[in-house]
C-alpha cells in the first residue's frame, strides 16, 4: 500500500494508438487512455492514482509524445514503476520514459509548447494499411497553396473559427510553427502514394482546433477555398466558415515541451 509520507510526483511520456479509445480523458461511455493508465497504476500501487495529461486528445487521435503527471506513494523507484506500468497496460499504450519531478509540476499547466502532426495521403487505390494513421485525399492537393495559407496561422490570433476554449472565453492562441512537408510512404503500405505531413506547434490549442485547421487547409488544397479566403476564415472567428474537421485517424500529439526546471 502507498505511504502518505513518501508520496512523490512523476512525469511520464506516453505513446498510444488511439483507434480503440474514446479519447484521452475518462468518459462514462467507453474506454479511454487515462482510464487505462489509472487502472494500471491502481493495480501496481494498490491505491487510486489520478493521472493528468498535457493534451486531451479526441477519440481516435494518436500520440507519440503525450505527457502525463501523477502523485503516488510508490516506494520502489521510477525504473520499476515504468516497467510495472508497461507490463499492465494494453499493447496499444506504452510508457516511453518516466521520472520523478518537482511537486509543482503539472503535465497540462506546466507545458509551454505542444506540437501536433497530421498525415494526409493520395493514392490511386485505397491503402488499408495506412488508413488508421492518415487521411485519404480523394484528389491530388495543391500543397504549395496549403503551405502558403498555413503561414497565416503563425503568430498570436483569435482562433475561434477553429475551436472552443477548454475553459473560460479566451480563444487567442500563439502558433509558433505551421508547415507542410512531404514524407515517404511506409513500405508496408504496399503501394506508391503521395504522403504529406502537417506540423503545427503552439503554446496551447482550442478543442478541435488542429482537425478544423487541417480540414480548412484541405479545402485550399482542393481549390475550394483560396489562400486569401483562408485568411478571411481566421479573421471571421466564425466556426461555420471553417472546413469540416479532418478525420481523427490522421492526427498525432507529437511532443510537449516544458521549461528547464520541469
For residue 260, the model assigns a pLDDT of: 55
Residue-by-residue pLDDT tens, the chain, 262 positions: 444 557 999 999 999 999 999 999 999 889 999 999 999 999 999 999 999 999 999 999 999 999 999 999 999 999 999 999 999 999 999 999 999 999 999 999 999 999 999 999 998 888 888 989 999 999 999 999 999 999 999 999 999 999 999 888 899 999 999 999 999 988 887 777 899 999 999 999 999 999 999 999 999 999 999 999 999 999 999 999 998 999 999 999 999 999 854 4
Domains of the chain from N-terminus onward: 4-101 (3.30.70.580), 113-257 (3.30.70.660)
Distance of CA 165 to the CA centre of its chain: 16
Active site residue 260: no
Active-site residue identified among 17, 58, 142, 158: 58
For 188-226, write each residue's pLDDT tens digit: 877 778 999 999 999 999 999 999 999 999 999 999 999
| Count of C-beta atoms within a 10 Å radius of residue 140 | 10
Enumerate residues 6+ apart whose C-beta is below 8 A from 165.
171, 206, 207
Q: For the whole prediction, is pTM greater than 0.85?
A: yes
Amino acid at each position: 500500500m502507498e505511504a502518505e509520507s513518501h508520496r512523490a510526483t512523476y512525469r511520464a511520456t506516453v505513446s498510444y494508438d488511439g483507434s480503440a479509445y474514446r479519447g484521452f480523458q475518462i468518459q462514462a461511455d467507453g474506454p479511454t487512455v487515462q482510464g487505462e493508465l489509472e487502472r494500471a497504476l491502481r493495480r501496481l500501487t494498490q491505491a487510486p492514482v489520478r493521472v493528468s495529461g498535457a493534451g486531451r486528445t479526441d477519440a481516435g487521435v494518436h500520440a507519440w509524445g503525450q505527457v502525463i503527471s501523477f502523485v503516488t506513494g510508490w516506494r520502489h523507484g521510477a525504473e520499476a514503476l515504468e516497467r510495472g506500468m508497461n507490463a499492465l497496460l494494453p499493447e496499444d499504450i506504452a510508457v516511453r520514459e518516466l521520472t520523478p519531478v518537482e511537486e509543482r509540476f503539472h503535465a497540462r499547466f506546466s507545458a509551454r509548447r505542444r506540437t501536433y502532426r497530421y498525415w494526409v495521403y493520395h493514392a490511386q487505390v485505397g491503402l488499408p494499411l495506412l488508413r488508421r494513421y492518415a487521411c485519404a485525399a480523394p484528389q491530388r492537393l495543391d500543397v504549395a497553396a496549403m503551405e502558403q495559407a498555413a503561414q497565416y496561422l503563425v503568430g498570436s490570433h483569435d482562433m475561434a473559427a477553429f475551436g472552443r476554449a477548454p475553459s473560460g472565453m479566451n480563444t487567442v492562441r500563439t502558433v509558433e510553427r505551421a508547415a507542410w512537408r512531404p514524407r515517404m510512404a511506409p513500405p508496408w503500405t504496399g503501394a506508391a502514394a503521395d504522403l504529406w505531413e502537417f506540423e503545427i506547434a503552439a503554446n496551447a490549442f482550442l478543442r478541435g482546433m488542429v482537425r478544423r485547421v487541417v480540414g480548412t487547409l484541405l479545402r485550399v488544397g482542393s481549390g475550394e477555398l483560396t489562400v486569401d479566403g483562408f485568411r478571411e476564415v481566421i479573421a471571421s472567428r466564425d466556426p461555420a466558415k471553417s472546413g469540416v474537421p479532418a478525420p481523427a485517424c490522421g492526427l498525432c500529439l507529437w511532443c510537449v515541451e516544458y521549461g528547464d526546471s520541469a
